[in-house]
Structure formats: structure tokens, C-alpha cells
């Protein structure tokens, strides 16, 4: 299915316990962001944490599931999460080489849907679900957000046997060090 459309929706990507963990974690980290002061204001701030340890754990732990869906061996590249707020938008774009296979995971939100567009198709990702897509091939983005807050995790991989395999670990040693601990 991903070969024909460029993406696939994954229901129940996170367990209920994982949803609770990620929701609490991202809210607490966001509230401790010195550039922002509460969830209810209509400011344009967002919290962004690249290679956050919890999101890196998600990247590693969900790799076998994503490999099973794609029927490919993957190499992890990087992860991050964002808590978006009123007025934020994500312009339509194609991802860089480290994002051959990208997965956006809905962690929690204020109750206001905020679809991601895969080309012209709007897709609402429910909390705990994910959208796996070919980040290098399909244009994607989001229109201006009209809710108060929305948390998303992003995990990225490359095909172990593909043309972007040199982007394993996003060309840094961060994950090599993590692998030694697992």
C-alpha cells in the first residue's frame, strides 16, 4: 500500500500506557520551555526537542513494527517531537535524505483536529495512531493550526539496502552510543 500511495495509516501504534507516558512527558517538557508559559495562550511558540531520549527510544522500539509493515530492513536516522500551538503551520515540503521513511505519531492534543496533508489529501491522525510515509517522495504539510496545542513525535529511517543508507544515525554517533547500552 505504501508503494502506491506513498503513505500508510497505522492504527494503535502506541499502547494506552505509551500514550499516557508520552502525553504527560511532552506536556511537562513543554511547560518547562522557557520560551512559552502556558497551554491556553494563543501564542505562536512551539516546543521542539531533537533526539530527545524518550523519542529516540520510540525510534528504536518501533523499528521492528515498521520493518514488518514495510517488509524492509531499516536503519534509524533521528527523532524529535514538537508541541505546536495556535497559528503554527507546516508548509508543504519534501524531506531530506535522512527521512526516506518517516513516521509521525500523534501523542496528544487539545481536542482540535489538525490534519496532515499528503499531497492534497487531508489525514487526521488520532492520538496513539501514526502515519508512515515516504518523506523523500510525497509532499506533506499542515495548514495553520486553530487549536491551543498539539504534540507529535517524528521518527525517521532509511532502507538498509537503499540509496540513503549512509544516513544511518543521521551521520552522527548518537545512536551508535545508544546501541551499546541496549
Per residue in 114-158, pLDDT (tens digit) is 999 999 999 999 999 999 999 999 999 999 999 988 999 999 999
> Are the C-beta atoms of 112 and 94 separated by less than 8 Å?
no
* Contact yes or no for 85/45 (Cβ under 8 A): yes
Q: For residue 32, what pLDDT is reported?
A: 74
Alpha helices (H) in 32-79, listed in sequence order: 53-61, 63-70
pLDDT at 28: 86
Q: Tens digit of pLDDT for each residue in 21-61?
A: 999 998 888 777 655 544 444 444 567 778 889 999 999 99
pLDDT tens-place string over residues 70-119: 999 999 999 998 888 888 889 999 999 999 999 999 999 999 999 999 99
pLDDT at residue 37, rounded to an integer:
46
Say what the pTM is: 0.87
* pLDDT-above-70 percentage for the chain: 86
Average pLDDT over residues 62-71: 97
Q: Which residue has the higher pLDDT, 87 or 180?
A: 87
- Please report the pLDDT score of residue 2 as a whole number: 85
What percent helix, strand, coil does the chain show, rounded to 5? Answer: 30, 30, 40
Question: Cell 540509496 identifies what position?
Answer: 163
Distance of CA 33 to the CA centre of its chain: 19
Model confidence at 178: pLDDT above 90: no
Amino acid at each position: 500500500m505504501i508503494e502506491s500511495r506513498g503513505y500508510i495509516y497505522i492504527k494503535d501504534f502506541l499502547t494506552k500506557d505509551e500514550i499516557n507516558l508520552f502525553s504527560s512527558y511532552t506536556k511537562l517538557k513543554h511547560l518547562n520551555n522557557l520560551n512559552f508559559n502556558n497551554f491556553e495562550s494563543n501564542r505562536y511558540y512551539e516546543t521542539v526537542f531533537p533526539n530527545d531520549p524518550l523519542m529516540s527510544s520510540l525510534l528504536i522500539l518501533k523499528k521492528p513494527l515498521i520493518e514488518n509493515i514495510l517488509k524492509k530492513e531499516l536503519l534509524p536516522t533521528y527523532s524529535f517531537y514538537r508541541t505546536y500551538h495556535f497559528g503554527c503551520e507546516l508548509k508543504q515540503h519534501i524531506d531530506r535524505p535522512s527521512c526516506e521513511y518517516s513516521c509521525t505519531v500523534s501523542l496528544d492534543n487539545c481536542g482540535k483536529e489538525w490534519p496532515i496533508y499528503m499531497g492534497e489529501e487531508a489525514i487526521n491522525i488520532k492520538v496513539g495512531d501514526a502515519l508512515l510515509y515516504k518523506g523523500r517522495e510525497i509532499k506533506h504539510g499542515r495548514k495553520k493550526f486553530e487549536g491551543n496545542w498539539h504534540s507529535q513525535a517524528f521518527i525517521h529511517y532509511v532502507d538498509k539496502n537503499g540509496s540513503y543508507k549512509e544516513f544511518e544515525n543521521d551521520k552522527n554517533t548518537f545512536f551508535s552510543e545508544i546501541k551499546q547500552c541496549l
